[in-house]
Structure 1
Amino acid sequence: MPESEKTHIFITGATGYIGGSVLSALLSHPKAKSFRITVLTRSPDKVASFNSVGVIAVVGSNQDLEKLTELARNSDVVIACADSDDLQAAKAILLGLKQRYDKTDEVPILIHTSGTGVLIDDAAGNYVTDKIYSDLDIPMIESLPKTQPHREVDIEVVAADQKGYVRTYIILPSTIYGIANTPMVKLGIQNPYSKQIPALITAGIDRKQGGVVGKGLNLWPNIHINDTATLYTTIFDAATKGPAEAGHGREGFYFGANGEHRVGRISEIIAQLLHEMKLGKSPEPTVFTEEELRKYFGGPYMGSNSRVRAERAKLIGWNPVHSVDSLWASLKPETDAIAEMQNI
């Protein structure tokens, strides 16, 4: 197929946990031969590895705003998997997509990564909220203040869709778990680990005792990394078929979740595992101090509630296969891997 007839896709964050998994899923997509995929990488050393699987790699980062604009301008679809709070990067990408629209009169697509962290409260682990957000309830989502994490960028992305020069789809993964095992990981160019659970494990190892935020009563949704990748490809498939196939803009919020857990239960299991490995003094977690919360997590984030019903993507065919049981099963291999990484 001539290059001019291919779907030009630009991915940011392709060396990350989410981005690398999405890239791997696109490379194994039934229509992969019709894709021309470009990624951004900070490391010149990774360019050859990307090239080896037919991916064009450009050296740069989210801070290279002109480069982001140029790469977006040359793309039919942008999948942004880097920093979900980087407003300047989002604006640079949107500028490039507007320039593309102005030149071609065709509406490009932006699939932007946000997160259910936009819903967090200040529970500090001490209570469960009854407030549950559905991604079909647009007024409820729009009631979120601009001060919430990710929200300012989400608002900018939706506004661009309303102006008509781009179709936007915002994916909001929840607690993603599981060690990624993709071709990108095997090539040594993708981070295989998530953030939240490894942070709890790392904190427990460092303080020589598993920890919990407050009473550990707060609830979060969860999603396996493989189901996260299929969420992106499901939305990509619908978006590229046409504007009527899936909600976009105001109606383009897609929660990524297939289960819910008490965060304190994760802390309890990690504390028990660390104790069995002789890396924790007690099988019962102890409460993180405020200083420890700042040190290990940048604040009380891990004690918040974030509750969702992920319904919109299922209406267009997303079929997650991992339940919360997979989350519990993932904790031992994750703990073993983090301990091994720290040469313990």
Structure 2
Amino acid sequence: MKPAARQEGMWWHPKPQQVATLTSNMSATVTIFLTGATGYIGGSVLERLLKHPNANTFDITVLVRNAEKAKILESKFGVRVVVGAHQDLDKLEACSENAHIVFQCSDSDDVPATKAILSGLKKRHAKLGDLPILIHTSGTGTLVDDARGMYATDVIYSDLNVEQIKSIPPTAFHRDVDLPIMQADEEGYVRAHIILPATVYGIAQGPLFEAGVSNPHSMQIPRLIRAALDRKLADLYIILLDSVLNNPDKTGHGWEGFYFGENGEHTWYQISRTIGEALVELGLSDDPEPTEFSTEELIKYFGSIKIGLYNGTNSRCRADRSRSIGWKPQYTTEDMLKSIKPEIIALRQRESKA
């Protein structure tokens, strides 16, 4: 298989690392609402919150669609659960209104859900007078161009360069959600922080994943693996949380609150070639060299031509602001490539049981 085009991009890995801890007196209860608890990123963030040194001061509520998973979260992990979907806007609004801190870790392009969360936080601010905190998950997809694998780029975005981030067009990926969040921060009823993961990889581990509550697999690389077969970012959330609670005046928010999650660069050719080599090693293919996707295959494996062509765009950035608050990513591009073979094995095992 060959990607429709190449991409230079960033990546993020969810495995545990040492994280900063709260140094202030956290005797008061901190109310937290988190979306996406059964997903890959949301599950990883919830894992960290439950293991946080001050976890006994956290009152965590999550929104979960699956009633069985809700029971496990309540009985085994002591998490408050509201059963519902992200389309239940009234529940999203109510849960957000009742939380001082909201982690939005689900769909980064869900405009109605985001508006419901902001509405709840606005009501909280009007009622209580406090300034609630929103930590939203976007993505470095907002930086992509339309290269379609035909050219590289020398443009590198820094999360410390506010004017550069402001220059991203409103038609870019995720921008229809990011911009209303920025407006809410400017209006003064919320302190907004946006984390932008890059290529997400690896098999997540921990009690939530072992219990079958959260999805241990990311989306991007497994999509390429499925196509080929057929033919450590959570710490940043916790470090940002600690910085917000301990040093709110020194923690950038609004337009100064974009935090990239990267620790190196890769091309999608590298990923595709590594998938091919792993398939040959496992006896699932005879040739490791990637080949092009047809238009029909882009739709079949990625859901749309637009998403498929995303794998051929340029998206380069540097996590300067993220590092400035103490984030120290440990995993490298080599680690990302080494994670591919285990993903293939896990996917094959899962499909054989289906």
TM-based fold match above 0.5: yes
The structure 1 segments of at least 4 consecutive aligned residues displaced by more than 3 Å after TM superposition are none
Alignment of 1:72 with 2:96, yes or no, is yes
Shift in Å, 1:275: 2.5
Which protein, 1 or 2, shows the higher relative CO under an 8 Å CA cutoff with sep ≥ 6? 2
Partner of 2:188: 164
Shift in Å, 1:182: 1.6
Q: How does 1:199-210 map onto structure 2 within 5 Å? A: 199-207=223-231
Q: How does 1:234-249 map onto structure 2 within 5 Å? A: 234-249=239-254
Question: In structure 2, what residue type is equivalent to 1:288?
Answer: F
Question: In structure 2, what residue type is equivalent to 1:98?
Answer: K
Partner of 1:214: none
SS at match of 2:249: coil
Shift in Å, 1:277: 2.5
Q: How does 1:145-160 map onto structure 2 within 5 Å? A: 145-160=169-184
Alignment of 1:7 with 2:30, yes or no, is yes
Alignment of 1:325 with 2:296, yes or no, is no
Measure, in 2, the Cα distance between the counterparts of 1:168 and 1:290. 39
SS at match of 2:248: coil
Could you give the per-residue CA deviations for residues 247-267 of structure 1, whole angstroms, max 9, x where no partner exists? 000100000111111110110
Measure, in 2, the Cα distance between the counterparts of 1:8 and 1:163. 23
Could you give the per-residue CA deviations for residues 166-206 of structure 1, whole angstroms, max 9, x where no partner exists? 00000000001110002110111000001110000001011
Question: In structure 2, what residue type is equivalent to 1:256?
Answer: G
Measure, in 1, the Cα distance between the counterparts of 2:35 and 2:288. 41
Alignment of 1:231 with 2:231, yes or no, is no
Larger mean CA deviation between 234-243 and 87-96 belongs to: 234-243
Shift in Å, 1:343: 1.5
Partner of 1:335: 344
Q: How does 1:243-262 map onto structure 2 within 5 Å? A: 243-262=248-267
Structure 2: gaps (5+ residues) = 1-26
Shift in Å, 1:129: 1.1
Q: How does 1:71-150 map onto structure 2 within 5 Å? A: 71-150=95-174
Shift in Å, 1:243: 2.7
Measure, in 2, the Cα distance between the counterparts of 1:148 and 1:294. 21
Shift in Å, 1:302: 0.9
Partner of 2:47: 24
Measure, in 2, the Cα distance between the counterparts of 1:32 and 1:78. 16
SS at match of 1:305: coil
Partner of 2:63: 40
Shift in Å, 1:294: 2.2
Question: In structure 1, what residue type is equivalent to 2:148?
Answer: A
Could you give the per-residue CA deviations for residues 214-263 of structure 1, whole angstroms, max 9, x where no partner exists? xxxxxxxxxxxxx2110000111111224313100010000011111111
Shift in Å, 1:327: 0.7
Partner of 2:9: none
Match of 1:269 among 257, 265, 274: 274
SS at match of 1:244: helix
Shift in Å, 1:278: 3.0
Count of residues in Structure 1 that have an aligned counterpart in Structure 2: 322
Match of 1:287 among 292, 297, 321: 292
Question: In structure 1, what residue type is equivalent to 2:30?
Answer: T
Shift in Å, 1:282: 1.8
Match of 2:197 among 167, 173, 180: 173
Partner of 2:12: none
Measure, in 1, the Cα distance between the counterparts of 2:322 and 2:274. 31
Q: How does 1:57-68 map onto structure 2 within 5 Å? A: 57-68=81-92
Question: In structure 1, what residue type is equivalent to 2:108?
Answer: S
Question: In structure 2, what residue type is equivalent to 1:293?
Answer: L
SS at match of 2:185: helix
Q: What is the aligned-residue RMSD (CA, Å)?
A: 1.3
SS at match of 1:158: helix
Question: In structure 2, what residue type is equivalent to 1:9?
Answer: I
Shift in Å, 1:130: 1.1
SS at match of 2:153: coil
Percentage identity across paired residues of the two chains: 51
Could you give the per-residue CA deviations for residues 34-67 of structure 1, whole angstroms, max 9, x where no partner exists? 0000001110011121112110111111101010
Question: In structure 2, what residue type is equivalent to 1:333?
Answer: P
SS at match of 1:172: strand
Shift in Å, 1:90: 0.5
Measure, in 2, the Cα distance between the counterparts of 1:205 and 1:324. 23
SS at match of 2:276: helix
Structure 1: gaps (5+ residues) = 208-226
Measure, in 2, the Cα distance between the counterparts of 1:320 and 1:277. 31
Larger mean CA deviation between 81-90 and 319-328 belongs to: 319-328
Question: Normalised by the size of structure 2, how large is the TM-score?
Answer: 0.89
Larger mean CA deviation between 10-19 and 268-277 belongs to: 268-277
Shift in Å, 1:126: 2.2
Partner of 2:312: 303
